[in-house]
Structure 1
């Protein structure tokens, strides 16, 4: 288990090609569209009336969140189309549901950067005010690259994935043949919207190398995505630091390791929860009960924490530092510089296997 440079002990690990959102009728893709904070594009109240707001909402699997990408570039739910109100091209024009007319305000393109663009306005589908609260309306806005304009949409073709992630579900299953049913592929892809730069930065090779690096470290930490919670229950009462001003509101023994990075300690639940907009300090059990939340904590560490290293795992991969630096950022103080070469080799073996599955070379600097 790693000790980051901060006093916080963190027991943790840690393209979609540009295409028109279209397919032949037989290839039309249906599924959730996830965005800011991993929430779903949603039809308010599951109401199919013309003019019903299209909003952001917790993913719930209902028909109000099932979007079909049509052969004509439309995006449909409840039998109607995602529409820009008033055929407007202005910043702030609202997204709504409307009877499909074939008009240009109902045409959409998804880019490699996960923007969903209305070509008529040349503007992006946007979550108003970067607000991840349930019920926040969508609009079109000049594309700026913000997280509130990043979406993971169902699509067909390209790299063969239906999620927009560079790892297909079949490849994920090949990587983790004995995984716990908790660690779902859909949970992972739903979490991607929280960190839209993950596995979407750089060349196709770099994108796949980063995905492989993250998943290899996660695999090592969880025994191949087998373990959801820390196995040594005797450790559970040890992860409460009462010196923190907020204490341990969920209880002395509530902050044990959970999820793909085995998130532990009250201060790490607080930091991850604050970053993700989720109350993990008050309800840490979300990490073991909600696959998307669990994956978000892993992506939080990977994209924002350098641990005992000098860079995040994300930066190590996209800036060419190599897989070895991701090991250092996750558990370098216990494994790197000859401290535990067998553990390092285990991580490297997983990374080499996963890059082979994805069809890319592992690159240089594999060891730390």
Structure 2
């Protein structure tokens, strides 16, 4: 991020509400796309209907994955999860920790509603509790229950369909890997989907096409900024001492050369680290290297600017995509010096990446691709 882009980042930004323990931001539409297949979880085991029994009240459990119909679940457009013609159900509609999860006739009640969030939990909104492997144990036959969401491995699941599975992201992990075949292992898919909890409107607003176009636009821009998610830190180390603006009242407590470009948007300058940290609830002014060592925080800085920064565009990149202004407006918001003939080659590289990514996601690019 060069100095020409710094002014747009000085503003005070509103921090998004994070999901912690039992208080979750549910990703809109995460359960909207139907898919059928296994649900995998703790110990690599599958969610299984005991004995493939279709009687009401049949135990739902963990079991070694075997490809049978007892492990073939459909994530429905109505928020249900079904197998063998019946629904995943919380016994008695209970909201208590330890309430067992069972198979039951589908009845449209809150006991049978499930939403996946960006943390890979499957939440029953009625109870605001998570699908949980009892114990925790991964042994065959371990019953499933609901429990206060804790972030434990026994509450992490991968479901069929929905693009990114339980991430609620319209880009699946396989598609992400296809987009970034040479990416640095630091830039993890899990880090991105975890970061999305800070900005739940990202890639979840508008039609399915618009959601995918926004995801492609964001990923195309960060790909350009990082050489395909290869670079974490700014390459030109000679620039490092130049990113300290001593006119700021808080100075540069991490050192004059500590505020060089890092992460998917190459966050730079002390005032930008201060603004991003304030918005995200992380002390980046004193600990700027978190952007290069914590994948989720690094991705959060990218989403922070995408969702709140306006640059020379007069609107955020998020708004540009969901309101039909097109990919070219996101370039103007991120680096307007590439626009109006300022650097046509760099602008075109962003456009080429966007066209490739929308192709992977199976949606049209839309209009207004350049600036």
Q: Structure 2-normalised TM-score? A: 0.67
Q: Is the 8 A contact 1:178 1:224 kept in 2?
A: yes
Q: Is the 8 A contact 2:40 2:157 kept in 1?
A: no
Q: Is the 8 A contact 2:97 2:148 kept in 1?
A: no
Instruction: Give the match for residue 329 of structure 2.
Output: 325
What is the CA-CA distance between 1:8 and the residue it aligns to? 5.6
Q: Is the partner of 2:41 in helix, strand or coil?
A: strand
Instruction: Give the match for residue 339 of structure 1.
Output: 342
- Residues 207 and 101 (structure 1), Cα distance of their counterparts in 2 relative to 1, 3 Å cut: closer
- Work out the number of aligned pairs and report it: 288
Greater radius of gyration (CA): 2
Q: Which whole-Å deviations, capped at 9, do the CAs of 1:297-355 have from their partners, x for residues lacking one? A: 000000001012211100000000000000000001x1101111111111100000000
Match of 1:28 among 22, 39, 50: 39
Q: Structure 1-normalised TM-score? A: 0.68
What is the CA-CA distance between 1:98 and the residue it aligns to? 1.4
- Residues 267 and 322 (structure 1), Cα distance of their counterparts in 2 relative to 1, 3 Å cut: same
Instruction: Give the match for residue 200 of structure 2.
Output: 196
What is the CA-CA distance between 1:248 and the residue it aligns to? 1.2
Instruction: Give the match for residue 4 of structure 1.
Output: 5
Q: Which whole-Å deviations, capped at 9, do the CAs of 1:200-256 have from their partners, x for residues lacking one? A: 000000000000000000011111111000011111111111111111111111111
User: Partners in 2 of 1:183 and 1:217 — Cα distance?
Assistant: 14
Q: Is the partner of 1:360 in helix, strand or coil?
A: coil
What is the CA-CA distance between 1:23 and the residue it aligns to? 8.5
Q: Is the partner of 1:19 in helix, strand or coil?
A: coil
User: Partners in 1 of 2:322 and 2:209 — Cα distance?
Assistant: 10
Listed as ranges, the gaps of 5+ residues in structure 1 are: 32-68, 75-80, 89-95, 127-136, 140-151
Match of 1:250 among 254, 259, 266: 254
- Residues 7 and 344 (structure 1), Cα distance of their counterparts in 2 relative to 1, 3 Å cut: closer
Match of 1:312 among 312, 316, 322: 316
- Residues 270 and 205 (structure 1), Cα distance of their counterparts in 2 relative to 1, 3 Å cut: same
Q: Is the partner of 2:257 in helix, strand or coil?
A: coil
Deviates more, 1:100-109 or 1:282-291: 100-109
The within-5 A match list for 1:1-368 is: 1=2, 3-4=4-5, 6=7, 17=29, 19=31, 27-30=38-41, 87=94, 97-100=97-100, 102=102, 107-110=112-115, 118=124, 121=126, 154-159=158-163, 161-332=165-336, 334-368=337-371
Q: Is the 8 A contact 2:213 2:363 kept in 1?
A: yes
Q: Which whole-Å deviations, capped at 9, do the CAs of 1:236-283 have from their partners, x for residues lacking one? A: 111111111111111111111000000011111111111111111111
- Residues 223 and 117 (structure 1), Cα distance of their counterparts in 2 relative to 1, 3 Å cut: closer
4+ aligned runs moved over 3 Å, structure 1 = 7-10, 15-24, 69-74, 81-84, 101-108, 111-119, 123-126, 158-162
What is the CA-CA distance between 1:177 and the residue it aligns to? 0.9
- Residues 117 and 228 (structure 1), Cα distance of their counterparts in 2 relative to 1, 3 Å cut: closer
User: Partners in 1 of 2:338 and 2:169 — Cα distance?
Assistant: 30
What is the CA-CA distance between 1:16 and the residue it aligns to? 7.6
What is the CA-CA distance between 1:71 and the residue it aligns to? 5.7
User: Partners in 2 of 1:229 and 1:111 — Cα distance?
Assistant: 33
Q: Is the partner of 1:308 in helix, strand or coil?
A: helix
Listed as ranges, the gaps of 5+ residues in structure 2 are: 12-26, 43-70, 75-79, 82-87, 131-146, 150-155
Q: Is the partner of 2:319 in helix, strand or coil?
A: helix
